Amino acid sequence: MALSLVDLHTHTTASDGTLPPAKLVAEAKRAGLRVLAVTDHDTLAALDEAEAVARRKRIEFVPGVELTAYHRGHEIHLLAYWVRRGGELEREMLRFRARRLDRMKTMIAKLRAVGLPVRESDVIRPGMGAVGRPHLARALVRLGHARDVSDAFARLIGTRCPAYVRKYRLSMKRALRLVRESNGVSVIAHPGKRGALDPLFAELKDLGLHGIEAYHSSHDRASIERYVAIAKRMRLIVTGGSDFHGEAVKPGITLGCVRVPLRVVGALRRAADA
């Protein structure tokens, strides 16, 4: 049985999780969850299937997505809930995937230029979501060009390596605007134990941020309490989730493994309706 009745941060095979949407929801039901959000990276592709299964299994479903955005040199993960389908944000995600595909083709051309034969079809498969360096690294290992994934990053595709190409960066300002324009609720994901992002919260709130993910599998008790206090002081909502990806990707992180108070769901809904 899960520790929690609520899990507002999970990933499926639509991004980098191991369970397809229907399986994830079935697993959530088995674990005893009452409220489940699916928050894949940069795609809404899992939401229809997950929502349909959740309805059948009588789990309250919250549609979500996790974006990666940048602010003052910090990489920030942003959760957005109830984003309108076919809205500005979904269009931006389509453009984002197209840019990642172009970048991957450039990286592959650079590898060929240094004498390593890689074909686009070794890395890029139809129907895959956002393509990234982990996919390329695994292809390089399969092709015998690298010993393992970390060797691929160390010699070929890491930041200062011959085949590295910088990726397109979405600004936090633009991300928050897109969520707002799509009628979604935005929550800063797992701000971290060390509080590095704390000085940015006020500014982000002015840009439209609604909440902080205080309860998260990477936070200890002290940081959870700190974020709950900060949110209360700043009148931001608090959310939480496991960041479940499946045992093979994040061992030990199970659905509902982070205790999230049930009242969090009501506050999130009120923010969405406001």
Least distance (Å) between residue 78 CB and Fe ion: 9
| Residue 213 sits in the site that holds Zn ion (CB under 5 A) | no
Least CB distance to ligand AMP at residue 104 (A): 8
Cα-Cα-Cα-Cα torsion 250, 98, 155, 13, nearest 10 degrees, comes to 20
Q: Look at residue 243 and give the partner it binds from ligand AMP, Zn ion, Fe ion, none, a contact being a CB closer than 5 to 8 Å depending on partner kind.
A: Fe ion
Asked if 40 touches Zn ion (CB under 5 A), the answer is no
Residue among 71, 77, 110, 145 that touches Fe ion (CB under 5 A): 77
CA 3 – CA 6 distance, rounded (Å): 9
73: nearest Cα among 206, 197, 187: 197
Asked whether position 16 contacts Zn ion by CB under 5 A, the answer is: yes
Position closest to Fe ion via CB:
77
Binding of residue 16 to Fe ion (CB under 5 A): no
What CA–CA distances, in Å, run from 260 to 89, 224, 228, 239?
27, 11, 12, 7
CA distance 42 to 132: 12
- Contact residues: ligand AMP, CB under 6 A: 132-134, 149-150, 153, 158, 167
Smallest distance from Zn ion to CB 132, Å: 10
Distance CA(130)–CA(124), nearest Å, equals: 10
Chain positions 210 to 269 lying near Fe ion, rule: CB under 5 A, are 243
CB contact at 8 A, 182 and 208: no
Task: Report the nearest approach of ligand AMP to the CB of residue 260 (Å).
Answer: 25
Which residues of this chain interact with Zn ion, rule CB under 5 A? 16
